[in-house]
A and B are shown apart, each in its own frame.
Chain A
Amino acid sequence: MSLETLRPSPAFASVLPIEYVDLVEHGPYTNRSGDGSKQTVKVTDMGKFKEVIEEHPMCAGCAMTLFIRLAYIGMPNPEHTIVVGTAGCGRLAISQASVPFIYGNYGDTNAVASGLKRGLEIRFPNQKKDVVVMAGDGGLIDIGFQGLMHSWFRKEKFTTIMLDNEVYGNTGGQESGMTNHGKVLKMAPRGKFGDKIDALGLAKVAGVDYIARLAPTNPARVARTVRRAIMVAREVGHSYIQAYTSCNIEYSIPTPDVMKDAFEIEKERYGFEEIVSPEAKAYLDEVEKKPKTKKTD
């Protein structure tokens, strides 16, 4: 692994950047067992350890940022993970993480991840490398739709996480395929025509092995869901997480009310849902039955 490839001499320990030292000694990199099932960095300790992502230029109160931080905590093996993204708000935070980030072209995430994952398997046949796509609703369901669907149908062994803020936030608030019917946004001056695209339904039809929908209301659940999705992608097939990550700017949610909105939307139409294929379930049962598996969440 990375820390084995380039291990600083102990003589230099005292002059290493504090960021590096913290990541290794007080961060998630070495605080996990080999197969990723044991997690010693806990969601409940957030703020007390060095996170993979800390500084970011996201808007104050952005729910997406919270979700992204939790997702990085949930990664079973961040030192062997590569994240792929595309244009959108999310990448402003994701690109600040201490996990390699591929910022590709518009909507190319799932195609890039397909080639990347297969390439990594050729190059590292004895080391699992986790590939995670984290992109917005527009990047995946609109411009990236074709790549998304085909990666699902091909059962590419990586995880797709949709940061669903139901709007094009980064370009200034245009309606997306995941916007709800009737919502007035830029480029939908008379209200969104058509319904929010049923991405979960599409994932089911495509035979995605692990599908989850959630809002970032329960931090431990976010981390656990991300970890389960990545584990399934390692061994079974594709996994897809759709996360409600509201845009408090374009939807005019007062900053102090962002979490209140998340709870309300969760209750109304974004409740936690997991759809797991029999193969994925058998695998997760196998992984999670180990004694120390569930310790964090």
Chain B
Amino acid sequence: MANVKGSSVCRTAVDEGKPADWVPGGEKQTVVDPMEMFHKLPREKLFITGSEAARESMRRANIDIAIAYPITPQSESMQQAGYLYDEGYIKEYYRGEEEIGTFSAISGASRAGVRALTATSGPGLMRGMEAISSWPGARTPIIMLNMCRVINTPLAIQPDNIEMSFLLNTGILLLHAENQQDFYDYPLAAIMASEQVDVTLPAVVSVDGFFCTHARGPVEVTPEEFKLPPRDGWRSAVPAMDNENPPARISRDAPIQKSNFISYHMHASWQQEVFAAVERSAKYFDKYLGGLIEVVNPDAEDFIIASGCAVSQAREAVRQEGEQGRTVGLVKVKSIRPFPTEQIFEAVKGAKRILVPEFNQAGWLHKELCAVLYGRCKAVIKDGPRVFGGMTMPTEMIMEWLAEFRKEVK
């Protein structure tokens, strides 16, 4: 409430030490159409860390409330959200008690009809999972930044995106940023898609921790004078819990725990609708991100399909293969949920070999691809190389796997 003016507001920015004539940064910004911001505004090239890219994204995202809880490697970004609050780009901000509290509170904020942001990493995501997995069913548009790190024992803070596999079947929209640039662009796109009436779902933008968050990379940003349109709490698939409806029973979250056929049906149809909404979001991501996938060398026989940091390593492998006279294709999967099944199928239908390098032990992307391409695509889909727990994926490793693959599948 600190950055909001109104007779009923409990606490104001002046109460927190700002001068009486202070103008919040957000009030100096101009709202632009999202498509204008994503595709037309001039961009300035910066060389910044992923956390700083997240900050610049948040600055332009017209966020009402951000709730933070520290965990490495996320802390840096949510500290930056704190500075944005202090500058007046975010209206409300506080540190929650821990992740269940933080992710419950953020769902409360979203239910109030405002734009809400939080962020986490690995173990924090797992701790808050009960709350997170209830967001889609509650139809709460929320933006969560997820800086992936190890979750398994032995505990480590190194990059590893196994945690994303736990989000696959929740009904959450899930994007995977390759680099600092994506970590600037994707949250903005995710916010706009998640708040569409026919979507009304939470969105997570994952990025591989440290490699992106704690390292610098080139990022082209739009002018900071422009911000996204605010969330419109009235435009939603379900009413906000604001009691602005006529008196009636509107317990949106009413318990349906009775053991009878009607309650089974209610739950089933509600969940079907959630997952249908995930699919409906694809058209917005397509528009905002210029496609759910990116394809390099579309005519190749050998393809690498990857997401996140593995794309960057694969890009370099593709370049070096090219230097040596071999054409290798690359499909970058930007959106994991909705999963771009048809686009991927179209891109690789001429492929003979598909290699899926990943930064996790489970190989969740490989499994996804096998599930959707099974029976439709003639290519052999090979999982690997897989690194995890902070292990690195040198370009040569991908090239060695490609060489081996060519020997295995003639």
Contacts and interface: CB of A to CB of B under 8 A. Distances in A.
A and B: interacting chains: yes
Interface of A: 1-3, 5-6, 8, 19-20, 23-24, 27, 29, 79-82, 84, 87, 91-92, 95-106, 108, 111-129, 146-147, 149-150, 154, 157, 235
A111 B100 contact: yes
A6 B247 CA distance: 10
Given A3-B247, A104-B107, 11 more contacts: A82-B242, A103-B255, A115-B112, A119-B109, A119-B113, A119-B116, A122-B1, A123-B64, A123-B114, A124-B8, A125-B6
Interface of B is mostly: loop
B92 A129 contact: no
B247 A102 contact: no
A104 B250 contact: no
Contacts of B33: none
Nearest to A98: B247
B105 A91 contact: no
A92 B108 contact: no
Contact of B8 (A87, A99, A127): A127
A147 B101 contact: yes
A82 to B, nearest CB: 5
B324 interface: no
A122 B247 contact: no
B94 interface: yes
Interface of B: 1, 4-10, 64-65, 67, 91-92, 94, 96-98, 100-102, 104-114, 116, 130-131, 134, 233, 241-255
Contacts of A92: 255
Contacts of A125: 1, 4-9
A19 B7 CA distance: 34
B178 to A, nearest CB: 31
A90 to B, nearest CB: 11
A84 B7 CA distance: 25
Contact of B109 (A84, A116, A150): A116
Contact of B243 (A2, A23, A87, A95): A2
Contact of A116 (B108, B134, B250): B108
A29 B97 CA distance: 36
A105 B64 contact: no
Given A2-B246, A95-B254, A127-B8, A114 B108 contact: yes
Contacts of B130: 105-106
B244 A5 contact: yes
Contacts of A100: 241-243, 245, 250-252
Nearest to A52: B247
Given A105-B134, A115-B67, A122 B251 contact: no
B27 to A, nearest CB: 14
Contacts of A82: 241-243
A150 B69 CA distance: 13
A95 B134 contact: no
Contacts of B10: 121, 157, 235
A29 B102 CA distance: 33
B19 to A, nearest CB: 20
Contact of B94 (A99, A128, A129, A154): A154
Given A95-B255, A102-B253, A111-B102, A146 B109 contact: no
A123 B105 contact: no
A111 B245 contact: no
A146 B78 CA distance: 22
B388 to A, nearest CB: 30
Contact of B105 (A6, A101, A106, A115): A115
A221 B386 CA distance: 66
Given A101-B253, A105-B130, A123-B233, A79 B100 contact: no
Which of B105, B109, B243, B244 counts the most A-chain CB atoms under 10 A from its CB? B243
Contacts of A123: 64, 112-114, 233, 242
Nearest to B107: A112
The 7 closest A-B pairs by CB, nearest first: A125-B6, A119-B112, A115-B108, A115-B105, A116-B108, A115-B109, A111-B104
A91 B254 CA distance: 9
Contacts of B100: 108, 111, 146-147
A26 to B, nearest CB: 12
A111 B134 contact: no
Contacts of B4: 121-122, 125
Which of A79, A122, A128, A157 counts the most B-chain CB atoms under 10 A from its CB? A122
A104 B253 contact: yes
A153 to B, nearest CB: 9
Given A20-B247, A20-B248, A102 B108 contact: yes
Contacts of A128: 8
A111 B105 contact: yes
B252 A115 contact: no
Given A111-B104, A112-B105, A115-B104, A126 B116 contact: no
A62 B283 CA distance: 52
A25 to B, nearest CB: 11
Contacts of A29: 247
